[in-house]
Structure 1
Amino acid sequence: MSGSGFNFTSFYATWFDHLHRLVDQLSSTAKDNHNSSSAPDHLVQTVMSHYSDYYRVKSMAAERDPLSVFSAPWATSLERSLHWIAGWRPTTTFHLIYTESSILFESRIFDILRGLHTGDLGDLSPSQIRRVSELQCETVEEENAITEELSEWQDDVSELLGTRTEVTGRVEGLVNIIKKADALRLRTVQKVVELLTPKQAVEFFIAAAELQFGVRGWGLDQDRQRGNDRGH
């Protein structure tokens, strides 16, 4: 593992631990505001800044060693199998919102049918639902464009390898692709959070982090199990 890759791996471990603490604060806020339509907006902004920091540092790591960042040495084998350009697919955001909204809607359907507004993700307004749908379509288009750019880069490098030509100069293209993918990931979350109420944003961040924690936990267990199997 290269020096820059190791540095980012260390950063990620610290960043991930901090995310756990932030989610604990979010969960406390969600409980305190269970019967309220509001939640501390400053905490939502703190979590958003935490994600921004992640992509800022990752961008610097990509500039130093894009191949290491693309291979994501900080992630488990399971996480890497789910990756789209060294991270989660931006459209996962919308699947998460639809899933959480459906679960909460079903759990509180009688209150909603009686006209009681819960103010949570199960109580998205028609305008919010429409905007989420529009954002999803826009994000799919951008995802596809970046995927096509990566495919073209891979084809270009493959041709150079076939002629045994030096490919070092082409690595710059991979840096730009990684940065575009990460910018889309961050921008997607920012736009979704902007259209949600603070309370809904808290619920969204909790659900997103719990998914991230769950996948990483499963991945660590599987990697340990494989390591033990190889050791015997």
Structure 2
Amino acid sequence: MSTFTAFYTAWSDQLQQLLRQLCSAPKPPTTQDHLHHLNHLVNKVLSHYAEYYRVKAAAAERDVLDIFAAPWASAFEKSLHWIAGWRPTTVFHLVYTESSILFESHIVDILRGVRTGDLGDLSPTQFRRVSELQCETVKEENAITDELSEWQHSVSDLMGATTDVDKMIERLVTVVRKADDLRLRTLKRVVDLLTPQQAVEFLIAAVELQQGIREWGMNQDRECSY
């Protein structure tokens, strides 16, 4: 087991503990203490993700090909990967999906003018800012994808006698770093657009999706190994 694989296992277990804390948080916050508690939980989760990308960056410097191979991930997880991780624009699909589900469940209250304060109660300004951020993220995603494509096309040069393999590996490390930076930055910027209650609900959905995909994929891998 690689060092990063061991780290990821422990990190994923800690993420599950944070999920339980998010799910037990008071919603909606009825006091200033509740509000402070929600903000504290949101910051803890974001810090946990930041720690993941910090350690991953160091691991990529040591062996970027191992990061792409992702031995800690199930085959299903790997099939969903974009440059050694989740696609940043997935965040926006999650926001829109959760908002739609909650809006439909509260539609009677909303029509009566009752504000729920959850993800189903996003304001027009919030929707506009999420949409603008999505467009920016798509452009950055495409630029990084193009950079990886250029790197892949240059792999044929490996057959040349003058090829500097170390420089090619450094370029790949840079591409992964840019992709991970966009992932973390997108997560933080979406959270910044939300209220504390909405941010908690969004992070619950994000972690549950991540953990659900991981659990299903690992179960499939175990069944295929029998």
Answering whether residue 99 of structure 2 is matched by residue 101 of structure 1, we say yes
Shift of 1:226: 1.1
- Aligned sequence identity (%): 64
Normalising by structure 2, we get a TM-score of 0.94
Contiguous gaps of at least 5 residues in structure 1: none
Other-structure match for 1:61: 59
Shift of 1:162: 6.7
Shift of 1:35: 7.0
Other-structure match for 2:5: 9
Other-structure match for 2:222: 224
Other-structure match for 2:27: 33
Q: SS of 1:215's equivalent?
A: helix
CA gap of 1:63–1:134, structure 2 versus 1, over 3 A, is same
Answering whether residue 121 of structure 2 is matched by residue 123 of structure 1, we say yes
Shift of 1:213: 1.1
Normalising by structure 1, we get a TM-score of 0.92
Shift of 1:165: 4.6
For these two proteins, the number of residue pairs brought into alignment is: 222
Matching residue within 205, 208, 228 for 2:206? 208
The amino acid that maps onto 1:21 is: Q
1:38-67 CA distances to partner (integer Å, 9 max, x unpaired)? 642111101110000000000000011111
Other-structure match for 1:92: 90
Contiguous gaps of at least 5 residues in structure 2: none
Aligned-residue CA RMSD (Å)? 1.7
Describe how 1:111-150 pairs up with structure 2 within 5 A. 111-150=109-148
d(CA) in 1 for partners of 2:28 and 2:100?
18
1:64-97 CA distances to partner (integer Å, 9 max, x unpaired)? 1111112211111000000000000000000000
The amino acid that maps onto 2:151 is: W
Shift of 1:177: 0.3
d(CA) in 2 for partners of 1:59 and 1:24?
27
Query: Which moved further from structure 2: 69-78 or 152-161?
Result: 152-161
Shift of 1:36: 4.5
Query: Which moved further from structure 2: 62-71 or 33-42?
Result: 33-42
d(CA) in 2 for partners of 1:158 and 1:110?
61
CA gap of 1:164–1:131, structure 2 versus 1, over 3 A, is same
Query: Which moved further from structure 2: 177-186 or 152-161?
Result: 152-161
* Kept in 1: contact 2:49–2:184 (CA 8 A): yes
d(CA) in 2 for partners of 1:53 and 1:200?
23
Answering whether residue 52 of structure 2 is matched by residue 47 of structure 1, we say no
